[in-house]
A and B are shown apart, each in its own frame.
Chain A
Amino acid sequence: MTMSDQTGRPGADTDRSEDPMTNTTPPAGPTPPADAAPPAGPPERATSAGVTTAGVTTAEARTTRAGLARDRLHWFGSRYALVGVWILMAIIYGIVTPHNFLRISTAQAIFGSQSPLLFLSISALCTFVVGEFDLSFAGVMGLAATIIPVLSGLHHMNVALACLIALVSCIACGVVNAFFIVKLGVSSLIVTLGTASLYLGLAELLSNQNTVSVTNPHFAQIALQDFLGLPLSFWYGIVLCAAFAYVIKWTPIGRHIVFVGANREVARLAGINVNRIRVGSYISASIVAALAGIMLVATVGGFDPTASPSYLLPALAAVFLGTAVVMPGQFNPIGTLFGIYFLETGIIGLQLLGYSGWVQDAFYGAGLVAAVTVAHLVRNRTRVA
């Protein structure tokens, strides 16, 4: 987990670390001058008598073609190894239960049912990419998923208005999280653990601890309307992931977010308003969690507030599994998308084999541990490279 704790101001720390792991490379004597092709450097580098140019070692310069190919392979392997595992898993299921698994309906079940979870994982990602930590997103989603049926079902409010109210309430939840964590500096783990339970309690209060349902039949259409063989909610999830990936990769704010996540102090010293980004991450996380709640209610038609904690672990599992794909060692939306359907493939396959009930919990739990382990190992391998 990247809960970086870099709050110390640089100048305040006058006792410099002598930890050699962080400041290595003592004078290693003059290195041989750049062989083969000296870089088009400025003239004085060549003229300074006796003193060599860059710290070039001959080995570095002699990167062979075979070495390049091996690097390529390693590069590809470290990014897409889990995709291979996924395909392998599908093939095994296909061999074991060809009549059940190799059907369009199975694919539809895998890809069509998971969009609330996908939204929820993206919500988790919002805070994780900036190095924050949030356990309350499932509670926020539960609150949204309760407010909508309570208002529209019990109080006969317009569904759209109910959704809006749910969204605003969830934003308020995000603001509460951000206030305690960013403004007051309380540990994010503790705050969100607490608010997760708080939001769950509020949802139970609103629903009187009953399952509540939406009566408006058109509401389900926004999620379940068929498009290219899959429900609209699936495509919403794809669009959300793509948009998230675009923002992170191709916009200044996205690059700033990545730096805040990678090293908060470096980001601060580059003039980035770190706290604004942290607050933004909690608020956007709650907005996406609210959308997850809307998707959930639209798909299922109602919600049992006590069920919301059960969404926490699958979302975390998917997010961590995602760190082993595409961008090894980093939280990323495409990896998360992959993680969701990887886990769901495993579960559906096991269910088709006749295991049910306990399988889901066991697979998500084991998946989380496996995901974190794989991500950890992948990260170590890139470090050695």
Chain B
Amino acid sequence: MPDPARLTVRGLTKTFGSAQVLTDVELSVLPGEVHGLAGQNGSGKSTLIKIITGLYTPDPGALFEVDGRPIRLPVRWPEVHAAGVSVVHQDLGLLDQLTVSENICVGGFPTRLGRINRTRRDELAARTLDRLGVSLSPARVVGTLTAAQRAEVAIARAMRDLTPGSGLIILDESTRALSGADLEHIHQLLRRIAADGSSALMVSHSLSELMAVTDRMTVLRDGRVAGGGMPTSGLSEQELARRMLGSSVEAVTPRAVAGPQRQGAEGQEGPADPGRPAVTVTGLNGPHLADVSFSVARGEILGLTGLPGSGYEDIAYLVSGAQRAVAGELRTGSAKVNLARGSVAACLRAGVVLVPERRDRDGLAFELSMRDNISLPELGKRGRPWFVARRWQQEDAEAAAATLGIRPRAPHILVKQLSGGNQQKVLLAKWLNTGPALLVLHEPTQAVDIGARTDILHALQRAANTGTSILLVSSEPEDLVATCDRILVYGREVGLRQADAATPEQLIEEIYATSEATAGSLT
């Protein structure tokens, strides 16, 4: 192409402390194209956008150009904005009580003698809307608009200062509130913008949307480009999913020992040992999922996965009482819990414990010590109302540090002083220490290094070998295939299906198949 790319990023690396979030990322958006930026949560999409908009400083050595002109790093937003780059916010950034014209012109009001010139403001808004082919009165109050119209206003604001036929707008998951015809409408608008010669960079984790609207795509996985500037026409959704989810980039943990009841099939109640029976969940309905039933045998590791956004993650929180279910019942051999009550205490009494995904927010008190965090669930049981001894807390923390390989092995160390992997081990130790009947985990290996991941997965296998039932809710195909005795895949339309996958690649296919079934049932 004779024209230089509208936006070029090359050799971009970003390190936070010891963690490399982006590695040698390359991105090139051509004039007149809609370019997709795809990736799972945590793949580095947001970090990349935050560097482009000047919120984060990249590591030295990166190249950044707009229309062939180099931009000094770190990005100063006014400079890039003046060069013709603008952003549509994730939540659109509209003020409901103001008019369309005020919302479009905010940040660039035409003034005269320091006062806003209302006539010219309304003209500017009308002109911008007209250019985009949007019929909307500038005087309307934004709060009264439909979702699609609101998106149009936000896009019009981003397009306001761009010379027709130039410029780049970045849509950072801006369309996630839309669906169906509204989404289609906005896609047409984006196509019109691109046809006029402007460019759009669209960040999304929705495969179908990216397939529908983009010309080319860049896929990020674990902070690296897993596919750069691929023409969308040559891609299948499956191919895209494979690139997003990845396949065996890391060494897969071999199964150490099969669970004692590896064959424990669905519906089969856990026999033997009445203290640690199987756990059965029936008729679980949540805000985003309907009629889920499954059971976990004693000593079984049951995997649960699905497409992002299908709602399968909720199951971890619903089953453990952290989130209130619409309906549902959980049974262990000795207890029955009504999940519609959403009582953590009742689930804990039944022996169901949760290792949540967000260890910083839901899992651990970062300002307190490792010992205090590990002993928390046991204080009531093992202490007396007037006195809790320190010794067992110390011993438990030391034992956990030894078995899980927590470094440093100092029970008094504050959780915030530990690395991410060690924090995750503390969180796991906290709940393993309670001797649970069912251990529910959500993304236990997210953002931990490979050594910690191995330790964590082995700890799960050991726990299963001693009879603990484990429900592993995860989006990591490698983890699931490596550790689980059985894997269930959830799809919004098809419900739970048992996956028959021996490799991560096969599992990705099966996860993807749930969305095909969805699409099939819709048409």
Question: Is B263 part of the binding interface, using a Cβ–Cβ cutoff of 8 Å?
Answer: no
Known interface pairs A18-B47, A26-B223; A10-B358 also in contact (CB < 8 Å) = yes
Interface residues of B in 349-387 (CB under 8 A from A): 354, 356-358, 360-368, 372, 375-377, 379-380, 383-387
CA distance A268 to B321 in the complex (A): 10
Residue from the list B322, B365, B408, B421 in contact with A11, Cβ < 8 A: B322
9-residue interface stretch from A48-56, A103-111, A146-154:
A48-56
Do the beta carbons of B323 and A12 come within 8 Å of each other? yes
Known interface pairs A25-B419, A45-B455, A255-B372; A11-B314 also in contact (CB < 8 Å) = yes
9-residue interface stretch from B2-10, B111-119, B207-215, B398-406:
B398-406
Do the beta carbons of A41 and B251 come within 8 Å of each other? no
| Residues from chain A with Cβ under 8 Å of B407 in the complex | 54-57, 60
Do the beta carbons of B380 and A53 come within 8 Å of each other? no
A361 to chain B, nearest CB (A): 33
A4 to chain B, nearest CB (A): 10
Residue from the list B19, B354, B461 in contact with A26, Cβ < 8 A: B19
| Most chain B Cβ neighbours within 10 Å, of A9, A267, A273 | A9
Interface of A (DSSP majority class): loop
With an 8 Å Cβ cutoff, the count of chain A residues facing the other chain is 66
Question: Is B57 part of the binding interface, using a Cβ–Cβ cutoff of 8 Å?
Answer: no
9-residue interface stretch from B138-146, B182-190, B445-453:
B445-453
Do the beta carbons of B406 and A259 come within 8 Å of each other? no
| Residues from chain B with Cβ under 8 Å of A278 in the complex | none
| Residues from chain A with Cβ under 8 Å of B204 in the complex | none
CA distance A12 to B288 in the complex (A): 10
The interface size bin for chain B is: 35 or more
Do the beta carbons of B379 and A50 come within 8 Å of each other? no
Interface residues of A in 55-100 (CB under 8 A from B): 55-57, 60, 63
Do the beta carbons of B222 and A41 come within 8 Å of each other? no
CA distance A54 to B422 in the complex (A): 9
Residue from the list B18, B311, B363, B406 in contact with A266, Cβ < 8 A: B363
CA distance A12 to B313 in the complex (A): 10
Question: Is B42 part of the binding interface, using a Cβ–Cβ cutoff of 8 Å?
Answer: yes
CA distance A11 to B361 in the complex (A): 12
Do the beta carbons of A258 and B449 come within 8 Å of each other? no
Do the beta carbons of B405 and A53 come within 8 Å of each other? yes
CA distance A32 to B496 in the complex (A): 41
9-residue interface stretch from A113-121, A135-143, A245-253, A334-342:
A245-253
Do the beta carbons of A9 and B322 come within 8 Å of each other? yes
Other A-B pairs beyond A22-B361, A256-B379, 10, CB < 8 Å: A14-B311, A15-B41, A20-B14, A24-B420, A24-B447, A27-B449, A28-B20, A55-B422, A330-B367, A385-B417
Do the beta carbons of B455 and A23 come within 8 Å of each other? no
Interface residues of A in 31-53 (CB under 8 A from B): 31, 34, 39-42, 44-45, 48-53
Residue from the list B375, B451, B462 in contact with A30, Cβ < 8 A: B451
Do the beta carbons of B222 and A26 come within 8 Å of each other? yes
| Residues from chain A with Cβ under 8 Å of B361 in the complex | 6, 10, 22, 263, 265
| Residues from chain B with Cβ under 8 Å of A269 in the complex | 320, 322, 344, 354, 356, 362-363
A68 to chain B, nearest CB (A): 11
| Residues from chain A with Cβ under 8 Å of B366 in the complex | 262-263
B401 to chain A, nearest CB (A): 8
Question: Is A225 part of the binding interface, using a Cβ–Cβ cutoff of 8 Å?
Answer: no
Question: Is B317 part of the binding interface, using a Cβ–Cβ cutoff of 8 Å?
Answer: yes
| Most chain B Cβ neighbours within 10 Å, of A11, A13, A268, A383 | A11
A29 to chain B, nearest CB (A): 7
Chosen A-B contacts, 13 in total, with CB atoms closer than 8 Å, are A12-B287, A20-B14, A22-B358, A22-B360, A22-B361, A25-B452, A45-B455, A52-B451, A262-B367, A269-B354, A270-B376, A273-B345, A330-B367
| Residues from chain B with Cβ under 8 Å of A44 in the complex | 256-257, 458, 461-462
Known interface pairs A9-B322, A10-B317, A263-B364; A28-B41 also in contact (CB < 8 Å) = no
CA distance A149 to B13 in the complex (A): 71
Contact with A along B32-64 (1 / 0, CB 8 A): 000000000110111100000000000000000
B383 to chain A, nearest CB (A): 5
Known interface pairs A6-B361, A30-B450, A252-B383; A53-B455 also in contact (CB < 8 Å) = yes
Question: Is A382 part of the binding interface, using a Cβ–Cβ cutoff of 8 Å?
Answer: yes
Contact with A along B287-320 (1 / 0, CB 8 A): 1100000000000000000000101011011101
Question: Is B394 part of the binding interface, using a Cβ–Cβ cutoff of 8 Å?
Answer: no
CA distance A11 to B317 in the complex (A): 6
CA distance A60 to B363 in the complex (A): 25
CA distance A15 to B176 in the complex (A): 11
Q: Which residue of B lies closest to A266 (CB)?
A: B365
| Most chain A Cβ neighbours within 10 Å, of B253, B323, B360, B375 | B360
B466 to chain A, nearest CB (A): 11
| Residues from chain A with Cβ under 8 Å of B388 in the complex | 250-252, 255
CA distance A48 to B447 in the complex (A): 21
Question: Is A16 part of the binding interface, using a Cβ–Cβ cutoff of 8 Å?
Answer: yes
Question: Is B17 part of the binding interface, using a Cβ–Cβ cutoff of 8 Å?
Answer: yes
Q: Which residue of A lies closest to B252 (CB)?
A: A51
| Residues from chain B with Cβ under 8 Å of A34 in the complex | 405
Do the beta carbons of A54 and B462 come within 8 Å of each other? no
Do the beta carbons of B385 and A252 come within 8 Å of each other? yes
Question: Is A314 part of the binding interface, using a Cβ–Cβ cutoff of 8 Å?
Answer: no
CA distance A71 to B348 in the complex (A): 39
B139 to chain A, nearest CB (A): 34
| Residues from chain A with Cβ under 8 Å of B222 in the complex | 26-27
Q: Which residue of B lies closest to A39 (CB)?
A: B402
CA distance A12 to B323 in the complex (A): 8
Question: Is A217 part of the binding interface, using a Cβ–Cβ cutoff of 8 Å?
Answer: no
A294 to chain B, nearest CB (A): 26
Shortest Cβ-Cβ A-B pairs, 3 listed: A54-B405, A11-B317, A25-B420
Question: Is B414 part of the binding interface, using a Cβ–Cβ cutoff of 8 Å?
Answer: yes
| Residues from chain A with Cβ under 8 Å of B408 in the complex | 60, 63
Do the beta carbons of A258 and B368 come within 8 Å of each other? yes
| Residues from chain A with Cβ under 8 Å of B454 in the complex | 45, 48, 51-53
Do the beta carbons of B455 and A54 come within 8 Å of each other? yes
Question: Is A293 part of the binding interface, using a Cβ–Cβ cutoff of 8 Å?
Answer: no
Do the beta carbons of A24 and B17 come within 8 Å of each other? yes
Contact with A along B225-263 (1 / 0, CB 8 A): 000000000000000000000000011011011000000
Residue from the list A9, A25, A45, A250 in contact with B449, Cβ < 8 A: A25
Do the beta carbons of B452 and A18 come within 8 Å of each other? no
| Residues from chain A with Cβ under 8 Å of B384 in the complex | 252
Known interface pairs A22-B360, A48-B254, A266-B362; A56-B405 also in contact (CB < 8 Å) = yes
Q: Which residue of A lies closest to B250 (CB)?
A: A27
Do the beta carbons of B462 and A42 come within 8 Å of each other? yes
CA distance A251 to B356 in the complex (A): 26
Question: Is A346 part of the binding interface, using a Cβ–Cβ cutoff of 8 Å?
Answer: no
A170 to chain B, nearest CB (A): 26
Question: Is B416 part of the binding interface, using a Cβ–Cβ cutoff of 8 Å?
Answer: yes
B106 to chain A, nearest CB (A): 25
